[in-house]
Chains A and B, each alone.
Chain A
Amino acid sequence: MVKSQNLLTEVESKALLKKAGIPIVEAKLARSKKEAISISNEMGFPVVLKISSTDVVHKSDSGGVKLGLANATQAGKAYSEILSSIKRAYPQAQIDGVSVQPMAAPGVEVIVGMSKDPQFGPVLMFGLGGILVEVLKDVSFRIVPVTARDAKAMIREIKGYPVLEGYRGQKPASIPALEKLIVKVSQFVEKNPQIRELDLNPIFAYSDKAVAVDARIILE
């Protein structure tokens, strides 16, 4: 069981990742409705609001996530709704506030994660996001440090690789951007041995770049 103090919030996780040069959709913490609106205005609409609490495990199932908020009124309303549904679902939860971030345009969903193997130490995982990773376990692994060549091979190893190349008229995902991201994540976990697990899920891959939309870091 993960103790909640070892789990960094999305805002904290993303701040660390950004410092390491890993592309993320930046998220800021709002502690009040007023703050949520002003951050939203600053970022530009549409925005996404998410509950920020390490006690809340399933954010979207409990009404803790509101997507595609088009203006200040919607953002403000979303803030209040999130807080009240979380208080209902998790009465004991300690709540930091609500994270605010720009709504990313849809891309090919992929996942990059890190866990520690008892014999080989930190291991990176790559896969397509959503159902493919959960049901089909279509993922590949490499041991840290992961070189550019390793990253290239691990992306091509998954069965769903043609999806990234742009299947049936879908826009292709930038493979070089994903390779670069994987290598950066490897360098990041190598420099930070106190990180026990890491999830960039989902990452949205576009034809010219790849950006982590959600992130969580668990410390030792």
Chain B
Amino acid sequence: MFEEKIEEFEPIFYPKSIAVIGASTTSIKAGSVWVWALKTAGFPGSIYPVGSKSGCIADLEIFPNLRLIFGEVDYVIVAIPRQSVLELLDDCVAKNVKAVQFFTAGFSEMDAQQGYRLEQQMLEKARRGNLRIIGPNCIGVYCPEHKIPFPLVKLGESGSVGFISQSGGIAAKLVTIGIARHINYSKVVSFGNGIDLDAGDFLQYLAADPKTETIGAYFEGTRDGVSLFNIIKEVARSKPLVVWKGGRTEAGAQAATSHTGSLASSAAVWSAMLKQAGAIEVHNLEELTDTLLIFQQLKCLQGTRAAVIGGLADGGGGNSVAAGDACMENGLKVPPLSPETKRKLGELLGEVGSILRNPVDVSQAQFRGLETLFQSIDLVARDTAIDVILIQEDIDILLPIYAWKGLEEINDFFIELGSRQNKPIIVVLPHGSAESERMQIEQKLLAASVPVFCSMERAAKAIYNINQYSCWQEARQRKL
């Protein structure tokens, strides 16, 4: 599906050379920031800074004009005022550039008449010159595999999550959260006003891209709802598609209109459209990143019967109750464990001070050693009435009892259990006073493909979302 997009978008995500228009020897200019970002990230192709003042930036000579660059230029990043963009497009066409990304803002998003007219003139030039436009009013492409960063944002590891965004701010935020939480991207695109290439084109590309397994999207509006609906329908068939629609409230919608110059339509119709097309709708940045994370780590998850282990050492009682509520309220099931599992757990832990139904309180294991803790969790994980295991791990409580070494052993066990079981192990690490140890454990688990969340609610919501995709796929296949 959409295979033709791969070749078409090659110069956008894997250009051999990039020219940056609006570079200067002063490093605070947007163009200069881009040159430095590409250089620092280690972009493997040629970088050509272009600017009105001669000199050098990042050891690269600044060219006075695009046409004076000797070699071929695949891709152009533009950070000059809007008055000069038409002339620049003529240069791009003359130079046989494949795609141009405009960071330049001040078009239809700001000025509905004049800005729109200018966009139409740009589009006309691009069509005639056989070149594609990304933006304007956007930060363009992030492709860690080809060492293309966003300006002012670190380059993360290359991975399997693709993300498209109307907003540059949200695209950049996804990348930084991704670096913190091991959400690794194949490609991220901010397409701004999307006058030429827009959401639909990039969705089709990511659907075809062999490097991308899960797709996320942030929209504020669309110019052609019906076409977007049909594309989402097609794309969601091949890969999970997680969508956050901004501008759901009227206050939000007003900001959307002035932001990217598109009309925000009613929230109910958008929700219906996403559901109908088979996309997973999320409602905020946390839910978006949580859902992308769980898809990346688990690929798929079938069934919502959760075993909840509320506490590993002390303080398991109240936490277990609260954790059970959080799961149920977010659409998961917390069924009682089988009598067999219960009996064996009782033998291991003793009845006093334990809760052996579900949620499970295994805190009595602290008096019997880590091996008992591991055996208990293993028993719960083997129960056939359970699809997924959720473990609340409170570093503040575990650290004084087991010390750092014990903590490492516990988490090694989770990683080992997660890879041995075909049932996912999901860890909840609540914030507390031992934040630096908590973060170390989080990094360790995430790097080993164990999904980690900071609250039961967020974990439960993410599990619900990934399961929804399995249900939808199953229903669709039954129908075929």
Judge if B225 is at the interface, Cβ distance under 8 Å: yes
Could you tell me the distance in whole angstroms from the C-beta of B223 to the nearest C-beta in chain A? 8
Inter-chain contact total with CB atoms closer than 8 Å: 43
Asked if B272 and A119 make an inter-chain contact with CB atoms under 8 angstroms apart, the answer reads: no
Per-residue CB proximity of A164-187 to B under 8 Å, as 1/0? 000000000000000000000000
Which residues from chain B contact A154 at a C-beta distance below 8 Å?
272
Partner of B272, one of A118, A143, A149: A143
Which residues from chain B contact A204 at a C-beta distance below 8 Å?
none
Per-residue CB proximity of B82-120 to A under 8 Å, as 1/0? 000000000000000000000000000000000000000
Measured CA separation A143–B268 after assembly (Å) = 11
Judge if B420 is at the interface, Cβ distance under 8 Å: no
Judge if A163 is at the interface, Cβ distance under 8 Å: no
Asked if A117 and B266 make an inter-chain contact with CB atoms under 8 angstroms apart, the answer reads: yes
Judge if A141 is at the interface, Cβ distance under 8 Å: yes
Measured CA separation A123–B265 after assembly (Å) = 12
Which residues from chain B contact A120 at a C-beta distance below 8 Å?
225-226, 229, 265, 269, 273
Asked if B479 and A149 make an inter-chain contact with CB atoms under 8 angstroms apart, the answer reads: yes
Most buried by B among A120, A140, A142: A120
Asked if A119 and B221 make an inter-chain contact with CB atoms under 8 angstroms apart, the answer reads: yes
Asked if A149 and B475 make an inter-chain contact with CB atoms under 8 angstroms apart, the answer reads: yes
Judge if B222 is at the interface, Cβ distance under 8 Å: yes
Asked if A119 and B265 make an inter-chain contact with CB atoms under 8 angstroms apart, the answer reads: yes
Asked if A121 and B225 make an inter-chain contact with CB atoms under 8 angstroms apart, the answer reads: yes
Asked if A143 and B479 make an inter-chain contact with CB atoms under 8 angstroms apart, the answer reads: no
Asked if A141 and B225 make an inter-chain contact with CB atoms under 8 angstroms apart, the answer reads: no
A118-B263, A118-B265, A149-B475 known; A123 and B272 CB under 8 Å? yes
Judge if A153 is at the interface, Cβ distance under 8 Å: yes
Judge if A81 is at the interface, Cβ distance under 8 Å: no
Asked if A142 and B222 make an inter-chain contact with CB atoms under 8 angstroms apart, the answer reads: no
Q: Which residue of A lies closest to B275 (CB)?
A: A153
Could you tell me the distance in whole angstroms from the C-beta of B225 to the nearest C-beta in chain A? 3
The tally of residues in B whose CB lies under 8 Å from a CB in A reads 19
Could you tell me the distance in whole angstroms from the C-beta of B198 to the nearest C-beta in chain A? 13
Which residues from chain A contact B225 at a C-beta distance below 8 Å?
117, 119-121
Could you tell me the distance in whole angstroms from the C-beta of B100 to the nearest C-beta in chain A? 27
Q: Which residue of B lies closest to A152 (CB)?
A: B475
Q: Which residue of A lies closest to B225 (CB)?
A: A119
Which residues from chain A contact B479 at a C-beta distance below 8 Å?
149
Judge if B40 is at the interface, Cβ distance under 8 Å: no
Which residues from chain B contact A123 at a C-beta distance below 8 Å?
269, 272
Judge if B276 is at the interface, Cβ distance under 8 Å: yes
Asked if A143 and B275 make an inter-chain contact with CB atoms under 8 angstroms apart, the answer reads: no
Q: Which residue of A lies closest to B262 (CB)?
A: A119
Q: Which residue of B lies closest to A141 (CB)?
A: B272
Judge if A55 is at the interface, Cβ distance under 8 Å: no
Measured CA separation A153–B275 after assembly (Å) = 9
Could you tell me the distance in whole angstroms from the C-beta of B19 to the nearest C-beta in chain A? 36
Measured CA separation A12–B275 after assembly (Å) = 35
Judge if A150 is at the interface, Cβ distance under 8 Å: yes
Which residues from chain B contact A117 at a C-beta distance below 8 Å?
225, 265-266, 269
Partner of A119, one of B263, B271, B275, B475: B263
Q: Which residue of A lies closest to B268 (CB)?
A: A141
Asked if B272 and A142 make an inter-chain contact with CB atoms under 8 angstroms apart, the answer reads: yes
Asked if A141 and B269 make an inter-chain contact with CB atoms under 8 angstroms apart, the answer reads: yes
- In the assembled complex, 27 residue pairs joining A and B whose CB atoms fall closer than 8 Å, in A order, are A117-B225, A117-B265, A117-B269, A118-B263, A118-B265, A119-B221, A119-B222, A119-B223, A120-B229, A120-B265, A120-B273, A121-B225, A121-B226, A123-B269, A140-B272, A141-B268, A141-B271, A142-B272, A142-B276, A143-B226, A143-B229, A143-B269, A143-B272, A143-B276, A149-B475, A150-B276, A153-B276
Residues in A lying within 8 Å of B, measured CB to CB: 117-121, 123, 140-143, 149-150, 153-154
8 nearest CB pairs, A to B = A119-B225, A141-B272, A120-B225, A119-B265, A117-B269, A142-B276, A143-B273, A142-B272
